């Protein structure tokens, strides 16, 4: 039985699915918004004996954990906005930007990617984090119109939201949920930082909290990585090893490494950096990996 969210598109019976598979237009059905969600697709896959049906459904139209479809999610925009906001914040004073310039540029970066950011926020199951993150993204556009008191209040609320996202990420067991919480953490984080600076509040405590939160994201979402030495293709001096990392969502990254004089010594610890980065592209791990070093810088 498929998910009833899609009843308005007509019931997805076994006969309907057989017809779609037969003519190869499942992708067209997905594009119209009448595709089954992930659970429904897997059930149809079992009924039909058609491996890969679940993967054929368009991911951007699958139901979100928060309820309702997440349409046209573009992770790259949200990721770029978060990275940019942190980079702008780091340039205040010593990096050539005034506080006013940094505030304006962070507001512009978040506003430009608002649709993508809100798509990730809407996928958060924790109602408290979803509400406060969405509020921060909406209210940041009006920072210039805030009175000193309202700006300080906004700074406190954004700080509470970022620490709440970090706490939920630390406690959650589902990696998809941790991923979405990571987006909330690193979109609201720089908003809270610049709001605190603009209202005369301190920032070291929040910076430390954001660093801890991003460590959590990196640790909890770390991909599994393996090396496969190609002994059959090795020469007496050179051994090639294929490196593969797999993210929680099934994304994979690959790389190769070469070991010289491999018969005379044990295999080294391989550097999975490139494979790991490729596997985790499009997740909040990518943001955390970029912003943690500057957060830890003295």
Residue 18 has pLDDT above 60, yes or no: no
**pLDDT attached to residue 93:** 76
Packing angle of the helix pair 99-112, 175-198 (nearest 10 deg): 150
What does the pLDDT read at residue 74? 66
Q: What is the mean pLDDT of the chain?
A: 80
Residue 250 has a pLDDT of: 96
Percent of the chain with pLDDT over 70: 75
* 25 pLDDT more than 80: no
- Looking at residue 41, what is its pLDDT? 46
Measure the CA–CA gap between 246 and 227, rounded to whole angstroms: 12
The model's pLDDT over 240-295, given as tens digits with 9 standing for 90+, comes to 999 999 999 999 999 999 998 887 778 889 999 999 999 999 999 999 999 999 99
pLDDT tens figures, 128-158:
999 999 999 999 999 999 999 999 999 999 9
Cβ within 8 Å of residue 177, ≥6 positions away: 65, 124, 125, 126, 168
Q: What is the pLDDT of residue 27?
A: 33
pLDDT band with cut points at 50, 70 and 90 for residue 236: confident
61-80: pLDDT as tens digits: 333 444 333 444 568 899 99
The pLDDT assigned to 207 comes to 96
Reply yes or no on whether the pLDDT at 47 is more than 80. Answer: no
The single residue listed with the structure tokens 């046209």 is: 72
What does the pLDDT average to over 93-108? 90
Instruction: Give the span between the Cα atoms of 184 and 162, in whole angstroms.
Output: 7
- Report pLDDT for 263: 78
Could you tell me which residues come within 8 angstroms of residue 197 by beta carbon, excluding any fewer than 6 positions away?
92, 99, 102, 203
**What confidence tens digit (pLDDT) does each residue in 176-198 have?**
999 999 999 999 999 999 999 99
Question: Per-residue pLDDT for 96 more than 60?
Answer: yes
CB burial of residue 263 (10 Å; 0-12, 13-18, 19+): exposed
Tell me which of 211 and 262 has the higher pLDDT: 211
Those residues with Cβ within 8 angstroms of residue 75's Cβ, 6 or more apart along the chain or in another chain: 116, 120, 282, 283
Least confident of 9-13, 121-125, 161-165, 182-186: 9-13
Give the pLDDT confidence score for residue 220 in this predicted structure.
Answer: 96
């Amino acid at each position: 039985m498929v998910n009833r969210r899609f009843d308005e598109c007509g019931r997805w019976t076994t006969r309907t699915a057989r017809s779609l598979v037969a003519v190869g237009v499942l992708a067209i059905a997905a594009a119209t918004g009448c595709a089954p969600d992930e659970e429904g697709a897997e059930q149809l896959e079992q009924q039909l004996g058609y491996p890969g049906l679940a993967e054929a459904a368009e991911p951007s139209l699958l139901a979100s954990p928060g309820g309702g479809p997440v349409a046209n999610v573009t992770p790259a925009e949200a990721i770029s906005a978060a990275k940019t906001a942190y980079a702008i914040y780091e340039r205040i004073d010593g990096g050539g930007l005034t506080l006013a310039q940094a505030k304006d540029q962070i507001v512009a970066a978040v506003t430009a990617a608002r649709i993508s950011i809100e798509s990730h926020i809407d996928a958060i199951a924790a109602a408290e984090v979803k509400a406060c993150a969405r509020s921060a993204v909406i209210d940041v556009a009006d920072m210039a119109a805030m009175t000193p008191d309202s700006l300080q209040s906004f700074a406190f609320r954004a700080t509470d939201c970022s620490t709440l996202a970090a706490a939920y990420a630390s406690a959650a067991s589902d990696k998809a949920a941790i991923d979405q919480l990571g987006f909330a953490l690193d979109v609201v984080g720089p908003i809270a930082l610049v709001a605190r600076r603009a209202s005369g509040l301190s920032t070291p405590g929040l910076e430390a909290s954001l660093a801890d939160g991003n460590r959590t994201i990196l640790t909890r979402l770390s991909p599994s990585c393996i090396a496969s030495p190609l002994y059959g293709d090795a020469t007496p001096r050179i051994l090639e090893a294929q490196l593969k990392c797999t993210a929680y969502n099934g994304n994979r990254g690959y790389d190769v490494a070469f070991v010289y004089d491999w018969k005379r010594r044990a295999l080294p610890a391989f550097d999975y950096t490139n494979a790991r980065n490729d596997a985790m592209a499009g997740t909040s791990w990518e943001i955390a990996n970029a912003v943690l070093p500057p957060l830890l810088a003295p």
